[in-house]
Every structure is written in C-alpha cells, then in structure tokens.
Chain A
C-alpha cells in the first residue's frame, strides 16, 4: 500500500498512525492490511467503572424521594467518571477501530441516561458489543434497552395512551430518515411497542396488560406485530440500508455524498445487514482512497484530542479536567445535545471553538493557563452559592516527550509535516513551515498541531 493510503486508512478507522507501524504496513497489500484490522476487533473489551455503590440498592429505595435524589446525584457523578474513562479508553485504545465505530453508533443511536450510571454503562457497552454485528439485531436490542426505553419515553408507551416518541425517532433518525414513512406508520408502530419496560436492574420486560395485541397495519402489512416485527419490516425496506450506508459514508469517507458509492454500499449491506462486511467493503474499495476523500474531514473534538495524543502522549494530572476540555471543545461524551446527536462536520467549528482548538495543543503540552466561564451544573435544582464569574485554571498534564522522541527518532522536521498533517497544506503555510525546519523538533511539532490543517483528517 502507499504510505499516504495507510495513513488515510488509520486516520479514519482510528486517530492516526506512528511512523514504525506505517512503514510496516506500507510493505503489505491492501487486503492484508484490512484483514489485520478486522482480526484486531474480534473480541470487544467492555468498559466498566466501579459501581459497587449500587450493590446494596433495593427497588424500594427509589420510592423514597431523598434516597432517590441522593442516588441520582451519585449516578451523575459516576456518569462523569464514565465519560472520563471513555475518553481515556479512546486515547489508549486496545482496539481502536471498535472504539471509533462505537463513537459512530453513539452519535447514531443517540441516548442520554445520565441519571442512571448502570443503564449508561450497559448502553455504552451494547454499542461496543454490536459495533460490527448485525444491524437488525442491534436495533432490536436498542429498542429494549433500559436507557433507551427511558430516554425516548417508550416505557410510558401504553395501550391506552400510546407514546409515539420512540417509534418516530426509530424511523426518522435510526433507520429510514425523514420523509420515508407516514404519520400512520408512526401511530401503528408505536402501538407495537406498547408495554415495553424494564425492571429495576435494567432487564427488559414486556408488560402484557399494557401491550396492544390488536392488528396493526404498517408499510402495507397487517398483523399483530410486536416491536421486533416492526424492526424486521423496517429493515426489509431498501431505504434502511441506504440510510445507514450514507451515514457511515459521511462519517468514514466524506461528508459530501457520492450516490454511486453509497448505493454500492447499500447493495452489500442489504444482503444481511452485517456491519463488519459493510465496513470491509468500504475499506477495500478503491474509492475510499480517492484524492477527494483524503484529509477532507473535520475531526470531531474527541478525535482531535485523540489525534494529538497519538503524536505526543500526555496524561491529565486531574482526570476531571478531561470534562472541562470536552466542554470547551463542544463535545461531552454521554451528554448529547438532543436525540439527533452532535452536529458534525463544519458545525464543530465556530470562531470561538476554532480558536480553542488552535490553542489547545500548546495548552495541553505545555501546562498553559486557560480561562473559562463556570456554568455550574445545569441540572442541579438545589440553590447554590454564586459561582465565581470567570475561572482560570492550568490544564495540568504530564507530557511524554521521551516517547515522542523515540517514536519519531528517524523522522526529521520535513517528514514530520506529513506524519502530523493528513490534509493538503495551504501554500503560504507550507512556505512558512519550510522556513522553520531548523527549529527544535518538539517546537516544530507543536506548531504543526496548532494549524488549521491539523483540524482535518
């Protein structure tokens, strides 16, 4: 494979690649490289935090209001801990492609269950386990998951008073896309999901007396459908394969659609809805490596953070500051803005966030001071002391320059440019860099990380 293609591949299935690995893989064929990527993702490594505080909890405890509030408060704190653990996993992945894919699904099957850390953890691992699995089964599991049952009000969906929230988003955001179903389809399918609920530990239960067993007419078919039947009928629509293929194309290939490529993907996907096969098809296709797809994507904030870390490893002295950095960049994991998820691509960038992204490498790698406004915890309803208006803090990190020096020992400043920047470089910037090849490698590296070009992959 061409070095540039290996680099592109790893920018997309991960967060970059180091020179040694790049050189090794460049000697292999595309088939070999892609095969090795899939060999690495066979065993999902689940992500767990210490939830022992829930062990003693009994269902009755939640009836007591004070106890309930206390548990929620603890849960929210634990969710923050989980968010930090997730970022750490992304920065130090054992299996990078599965983590990248999990990020994709987290912004597809969007869910927010921050009051219940157990459900949050289970849901996150559900995404991780199914990341390369069968999409039909994946969707069914999502529909029965406690976090999702709560988030889209499906547990309030009862025979006598159907709640259409889940049925609507299932079709609009998870499977078919807007305008590919009717309002009647929503009403009928909502009835099929009535009675869905979960027990105290988050296990799915169907409350038979709240489940509507009458016939439903959905996409021209009539029968006593349940939720699984509805998902089967939805996925029988070719549109579903197209919709998911397009979303994957936008995430892994290019934000601008190419109809021919997406149709080819959908043809592969529609056969068996096997996600791994679809991804293999994408990574092996010639067009994945087309010029217009290389270095053309704007990194999500988390990807941006991970790609800095790939080149210069660092560790936060206070793990909580990972939350601050997420917030400053505009992407806090487990706290999506709404069910449509984070808006991606150019939406990540406004003048304020861009300035922060340009400055972040020097801040992270040099313990520089950063100013931010303290918003406090928006959910807290308890009166609190007036927060300070504006805070200053040092983002304290341990930067591992030794590893950097080791990883890039046979790289000079000139070749470092192409190791760090995956996109075309503006002509003027390129000339400036040429003039500065003589400065120390570390400083040169920080300059590269501080450029608009580094926002792309």
Chain B
C-alpha cells in the first residue's frame, strides 16, 4: 500500500477541506513588524575554549600553561596591541572593524558548575547554581508578555528548557514546511475542526488539544508568511549554516518572532583541541558573516541583536591530551548595528588570579547581560523575568 493511499484510507471521510476558521489567525492582527526588536541566541555547545578564541598573545602565563596548544602571535588576527583573534574568526573581522561586535570577557556566575547539562540549564533558566528551575528565561518572557508560541523559535528538533515557560512555550522548528504538512492531513484537520466549540479545559487533555492547535496554527503562520521570501544562497552547507539561513528567512519575512535560538555542537575539546576548534570556529564565523550580511541587505540588521555564549569556558592549564578540561568564566559575543560599546567591553581575564581549581574567576554575571537585553532591547522589566533584579551593562 502506498503512503498516499494509506493516508486516504485512514482519513475521516467528511468535511475534508474545511478551513478551520477558529484557528488563531495571528497574521490578521496588524503589527508594526519593523519596530520589533529581535534577539538571536547562539550556543557554542560543549564549552568553547575562550582563551584560544580571544588570545592574550603577550601573556607569559598563557604560554606557560598551554605549551602544546597556545596560539602564536603570527597565527592570530591582531586586534589590539595584546589581543589576537583566532584565525578562523577572520570572517568576523569586518564586523569588529565596523563596530558591530562587542566582546564581553569573564562572564560566568557564582559557584560555577562544570557539568555540561547542569551549566546549560543554569544559563537557560537563569537560575543560581544551586537552584533547579523548571522553566527558562525566554519561556518566562513569553509568560509575561502573554505571547503566541511563534514569539520564540528554536531551530531544532526539540524545545530546550530556555523556551519553556510556566504557561507558555516557544516553538521548535527545523522545517516549517514539514511541520505544516504533518498536521495538514485531513485527519488532523477534522479532529481540530470537530473540537472547535469544545471547552478546552485546563486538564491535560485540554493542554494536548491546545498544543496541537497551536502547533497547527503556528506552522501554518510560519509556512505561509515565509514561503515567498528567499534568502542569500551562500550559507555554508552545514547544519549551523542551515539554522542561520532559516532564521534569516524568518526575520526577513517579517515574522513576529522576537527570540531565536540555535546552536553549534562539538566544542568539548578534551583532546587534540586545535583541529576541532579551528574547524568549528570557522563554521561559526563563516555562517555568522553571511547571516549578518543577509540581514543588512534586507535592512533588518538594525533590529537584531545576536548573543553568542557557551555553557562554560575551559581550564587555563591544558591537559595531557593536547586539550582542555571544563572550566568556568568565558567570553560572550554581542553583535548588532547600534552598540554603545564596540570592540572589548572589559579587560581580558587575569590569568594570575584563578580559583582553587585553576579556573577563571567571573567578573560579570551572565544574567546582567540578559537583564540588559530585557530592559533596553525588549523593553520589559528584567526582575519580572529573572526573578530578581540584575543591574544593566552598557553595551546597548
């Protein structure tokens, strides 16, 4: 039996092409799309080695502690008298020169946790390190603004904790078309249509139906809104390039989405770090450069702020396998057109003042970055989202 026949057979016979009127038709609500500020959050998963990304090439301690893996001055892109950029980040030099890049050093949190999962949870939920939260900071932003699921999109298979709120969830989409098609089958149309008048209550069954309806209307909204918009076709052919391409298509089509989340995996470089990091940073930088360029061409870059983080940095001292172990504080990249601070936000880490495990001490709490974005970019009170008030930084 062919799939098509099968679907036909398992389809409810009546009312096949009934248009579900009751669906939340977001697209009919007129909105000043262009006035929306957008945040694109990128995670370098596994813990990128920040010290070999932004390199203090005049620092003796750096060379002492990293005898096999330290990068030499002539291998770097020199940004200042004493700071060099990993050569793979060459595509970002333009952004740096134009003042579209701000690098914040020594970002972390008190009592750092060195587990990938736990530290990722801490960054995603904006919790203290000994606090387990069941919802993410973007999810709580959705709760607070009573937003549609399409307000926050993760370009991935499953939704991360970051985008899950107490009452609202964002949307995980890799391919709006296939999500749309999955629920377009008459069977689901009929199920949804048949329950249009049902009182969808607060119990789990109501939650399931609401999620199904949300998925269907969100997928339809995204698919229809974005299908005509083409993007630049020079994105690198890897999954990170594909993610950014999808995000740019969504932004340039004027989707109401305000927060996007994507990630690049593989930074857990315990052994033979150099080749791996060179390859991954190249992927990152090449894709980012195309992405920003694509936004500029479509005149949308002015409304976009890009935040790149890693769940932790790596140990200052290399290990015996030409790699580095899990560390703590790290650098965070901010990209945007109207940055108040350009280049470096603060000083490089002090390699002579480490914690008892030989890790960097943090200077800036990552939640101050979130707070700044919430207050100054998304215009909501950070305390409502972060559960306590954090002070603002001065990068936007």
Contact = CB atoms under 8 A, between A and B. Distances in A.
A binds B: yes
Given A339-B118, A428-B196, A447-B10, A358 B205 contact: no
A427 B197 CA distance: 9
A455 B203 CA distance: 13
A353 B179 contact: no
Interface residues of B, number: 74
B195 A429 contact: yes
Interface in A347-375: 347, 349-355, 358-359, 362, 366, 368-369, 371-375
A453 B205 contact: yes
Interface string B154-176: 00111101001000010111110
A373 B275 CA distance: 24
Interface string A358-399: 110010001011011111101111110011011000000000
Nearest to B131: A178
A383 B268 CA distance: 11
A429 B212 CA distance: 14
Interface string A231-256: 00000000000000000000000000
A251 to B, nearest CB: 15
Contact of B272 (A347, A371, A372, A381): A381
Interface stretch (B77-85, B180-188, B338-346): B180-188
B265 interface: yes
Interface of B: 1, 3, 6-7, 9-10, 12-14, 45-46, 115, 117-118, 121, 130, 132, 134, 149, 156-159, 161, 164, 169, 171-175, 178-179, 182-183, 187-188, 190-191, 193-198, 203-205, 207-209, 211-212, 214-215, 218-219, 237-239, 242, 265-266, 268-272, 275-276, 279, 320-321, 323
A452 interface: yes
A389 B214 CA distance: 27
B134 A375 contact: no
A347 B163 CA distance: 12
B215 A354 contact: yes
Interface of A: 65, 69, 168, 178, 296-298, 327-328, 330, 337-340, 343, 345-347, 349-355, 358-359, 362, 366, 368-369, 371-376, 378-383, 386-387, 389-390, 423-424, 426-429, 431-432, 435-436, 439-440, 443, 446-447, 450-453, 455-456
A141 to B, nearest CB: 24
Given A390-B175, A447-B10, A452-B209, 12 more contacts: A346-B204, A351-B179, A351-B212, A352-B157, A354-B215, A368-B3, A368-B6, A369-B3, A381-B323, A383-B276, A432-B190, A435-B13
Contacts of A296: 203-204
Contacts of B183: 355, 358
B214 to A, nearest CB: 6
Contacts of B320: 65
Nearest to B192: A428
B149 to A, nearest CB: 6
Q: Which residue among B174, B182, B211 has the maximum number of chain A CB atoms within 10 Å of its CB?
A: B211
Q: Which residue among A339, A372, A426, A439 has the maximum number of chain B CB atoms within 10 Å of its CB?
A: A426
Nearest to A151: B115
Given A369-B3, A432-B191, A347 B179 contact: no
A352 B158 contact: yes
Contact of B194 (A432, A439, A456): A432
B169 A351 contact: yes
Nearest to B9: A443
Contacts of A349: 207-208, 211
A379 to B, nearest CB: 7
A443 B5 CA distance: 12
A378 B46 contact: yes
B270 to A, nearest CB: 6
28 contacts: A296-B203, A345-B204, A346-B204, A347-B164, A349-B207, A351-B169, A351-B172, A354-B208, A354-B212, A358-B188, A362-B7, A368-B6, A372-B157, A381-B269, A383-B275, A383-B279, A386-B237, A389-B237, A389-B242, A426-B194, A426-B205, A428-B191, A428-B194, A428-B197, A432-B12, A435-B12, A436-B12, A443-B9
Nearest to B195: A428
A340 B132 CA distance: 8
A352 B150 CA distance: 12
B268 A381 contact: yes
A387 B239 contact: yes
Contact of B238 (A351, A389, A451): A389
Nearest to A346: B207
Contacts of B323: 381
A354 B204 contact: no
B164 A350 contact: yes
Nearest to B197: A428
A352 B172 contact: yes
A440 B5 CA distance: 14
B268 A379 contact: yes
B321 A427 contact: no
